[in-house]
Amino acid sequence: MPLTRSAGILLHPTSLPGRFGMGEIGPEAHRWLAHLNSMSQKLWQVLPLGPTGYGDSPYQTLSTFAGNTMLISFDSLQDEGLLREEDLKDFPLFPESHVDYGPVIIARSRILDKVAKSFARRASPALKAGWMQFCEKESHWLNDYTLFCALKKEYGGGPWVQWPEDLRQRQTSAILEAKKKHSVEMKYSTILQFLFFHQWNSLRQEAKKRGISIIGDIPIFVAHDSADVWCRPELFFMEKDGQPSVIAGVPPDYFSQTGQRWGNPLYRWEMHEKENFAWWIARLKSSLELYDTVRIDHFRGFAAYWEIPAHEKTAVRGHWVPGPGRKLFDAAHQVLGSLPILAEDLGVITPEVDALRDDLNFPGMRILQFAFGDDPKAESFRPESYPANCAVYTGTHDNDTTVGWYQSEPGKDSTRNADQIRREQHNARTYLSCDGSQIHWDMIGLALRSPANTAIYPLQDVLGLGSTARMNVPGREEGNWSWRFQWNQLTPQVEQHLHRLTLEANRN
């Protein structure tokens, strides 16, 4: 499904300002929509919104269907009468520049626990009716997920493969006993899930009123320690003890000399096909209820994916295995109709991947930071080679900021040596006819002027921030996903400049 000519900003809700330790999906998010309008930006792209586990990565969630309740807005809860200011009097002070996940999650969980327990007496009749409707509509995943969370808590937060065998294998009697034991806690979890989706739907409706489309994100693979794998192990390559036999990743590339060993269990596609891809169709349906367009991370895995034996410590000794191809999307189209999907087609891309993407008429991605290096494919990332049906990015959440990329030094988080960096800097200055002092605006302008129907840039690039504002360094276990901005950084001058560039590029 081709995208219309437009422009937008990549910003995960956790990066929004706010007084409660991390960004939320309440008033500050609504304010963000107003700022997007003032900058003539019609797209807002977010990272996956699922509940995060160890490492806080939105790409390793505890469920592919559930929402991240840490994003629930405390201000909105107060507006609904579900939370009082006195409930927040002992809430700790946290940094405004980043999310300190451990302490923040503990503090926010205490408040949310109070909200769930007081819901019955504080919620309006309309909210209670909405919660009951939500529980019925989402029962296909909600009951399993809330039980999963209750058991995870009971057994110290460890992965489900460490639970007692009868629960690990979901024996009927054990599951029934667990549901009875944890019924109250499961109920509270359903309330918080309802509140997340209730607030997100309000935000999405506000975006529609403002003419802003939301691009969401789902990773092709799901986390091993998730309700998805615990509930449907037959859909994955698993050993009898619950451990995956083979895992996902990518071979050595721009980001890592040893590849990336993600650790996600791989799909048994023949089992999915026997069910006419029902699990995947449910996943896409759920995502399209949250977003206007769904970006599928690692789209190339549908053509072929990198299979790594689970015992390997790196991704080097893997091999390519054919994926399901278009059979999955044909089945989804029959049920869901038109599929507004953006294909993340970066990395080791073959003619087969290009053919699958083009056959389905899905737009792919182009990254401007890749346009000036030594890679033979660099020219394909330059605007003169773009088809209209693609999305151009200055960089993604996995890249350094544009300023950080341009000013980078050998070592640390860079895979480039000093000569490579100097050549890229020279190539960029030559191509852009600039001196590099405003590299972020030069790159944003290049994206906006390109033939690509869609131009997107991280907010960090709009603000001209360096590497300390980077969202993620692939392969780094700590310190990711924590960046936040403050409203005073988004000055009228910045907004006016982006507005002007967008109008000049005819993307209003």
* 138 noted as active-site residue: no
DSSP code at position 46: -
* 228 noted as active-site residue: no
Cα(50)–Cα(61) distance, integer angstroms:
6
Amino acid code (one letter) for 320 = W
What would you report as the CA-atom Rg of the chain, rounded to the nearest whole angstrom?
23
How would you write 368-428 as a 3-class SS string? HHHHHCCCHHHHHHCHHHCCCCEEEECCCCCCCCHHHHHCCCCCCCCCCCHHHHHHHHHHH
Q: Which residues are 367's β-sheet partners?
A: 393
Concatenating the DSSP letter of every residue in 238-301 gives B-TTS-BSEEEEE-S-SS-TT-EEEEEEPB-HHHHHHTTTHHHHHHHHHHHHH-SEEEEETGGG
Q: Where are the alpha helices (DSSP H) in 459-504?
A: 459-462, 492-504
Structure tokens at 210: 């403002």
Cα(9)–Cα(384) distance, integer angstroms:
22
Q: How far apart are the first and last CA of the chain?
A: 20
Catalytic residue among 28, 297, 345, 461: 297
Catalytic residue among 24, 144, 398, 442: 398
Catalytic residue among 24, 225, 344, 424: 344
* 297 noted as active-site residue: yes
Sign of the Cα torsion 499, 501, 504, 508 reads: negative
Q: Residue 469: CB partners within 8 Å, gap ≥ 6?
A: 401, 404, 460, 463, 483
Residue with tokens 């995943």: 141
Q: CA dist 90 to 20, 108, 396, 479, Å?
A: 12, 11, 37, 27
Structure tokens at 59: 């790409």
Please check whether residue 482 is in contact with residue 99, taking contact to mean a CB–CB distance below 8 angstroms: yes
**Helix (H/G/I), strand (E/B), else coil: 364:** strand
The residues assigned a catalytic role are 297, 344, 398
